[in-house]
Amino acid sequence: MSLGLQNYVINYLHKYKTMKKILITYYSRTATTKKVAEILAEKLGADIEEIKDTVDRKGAKGYLISGRDATLRKLTVLEKSEKNLQDYDLAIIGTPIWSWNMSVPVRTYLHDHKGEFPEVAFFCTMGGSGDERAFREMGEIIGKQPITNLALKTAEVVKNLAGERIDEFVGELN
Ligand SMILES: Cc1cc2nc3c(=O)[nH]c(=O)nc-3n(C[C@H](O)[C@H](O)[C@H](O)COP(=O)(O)O)c2cc1C
């Protein structure tokens, strides 16, 4: 093997060994948070897992029960997750904002896995407000402060205007 190739292989192996293993876990009712999760996974080379609720939250009825249950800080029953948090160095958790709170499935996920989290970072999508309280409570439930947070408005995500803010967030994770 030439010296150049040897150095390339050594550098590659070193980079691979020192790279953080990242899991992105998100809930999304109408695919906005999902879009951000997928962009992040691509940029970070991370694994991704969707939080799946057993409650049907579609349509107007789903909207109403979701808003009410978020306000009441209720929990739900989730489908079993496939990824094991203990296999990762960093968990990035994404939620939509419901009634100025985190979504009910994300609250449940955090409760269900309390004590299993490595380092964390949070992101949310929202019409306009509620991110601060949601992020604060997310940290409180698992007893960890996030490395950083990212709050995006639905319109920014839908119109593909969030690229710069997403890149900043990615930069803060390293
Ligand atoms: C039940 C419910 C309550 C909501 N409450 C808020 C809110 O308090 N503040 C806000 O900015 N957006 C609120 N929204 C808007 C969502 O946060 C926003 O549309 C988000 O991007 C949806 O993400 P998703 O498509 O991943 O489900 C609410 C949406 C739902 C369904």
Domains in the chain, ordered, with CATH? 20-173 (3.40.50.360)
Q: Cα separation of 3 and 108, whole Å?
A: 53
- Residue whose structure tokens are 């579609």: 58
CA 7 to chain centre: 36
CB 59 within 8 A of CB 30: no
Question: Which atom of ligand 1 lies nearest, measured to the CA of 63?
Answer: 1
Answer whether 43 contacts ligand 1 (Cβ < 6 A). Answer: no
Answer whether 125 contacts ligand 1 (Cβ < 6 A). Answer: yes
Question: What pTM value is reported for the model?
Answer: 0.92
φ and ψ at 166, to 5 degrees?
A: -65, -40
3-state secondary structure of 159: coil
Could you list the pLDDT tens digit for every one of the 174 residues in the chain? 677 888 777 776 666 556 899 999 999 999 999 999 999 999 999 999 999 999 999 999 999 999 999 999 999 999 999 999 999 999 999 999 999 999 999 999 999 999 999 999 999 999 999 999 999 999 999 999 999 999 999 999 999 999 999 999 999 997
Answer whether 71 contacts ligand 1 (Cβ < 6 A). Answer: no
Amino acid sitting at position 32: T
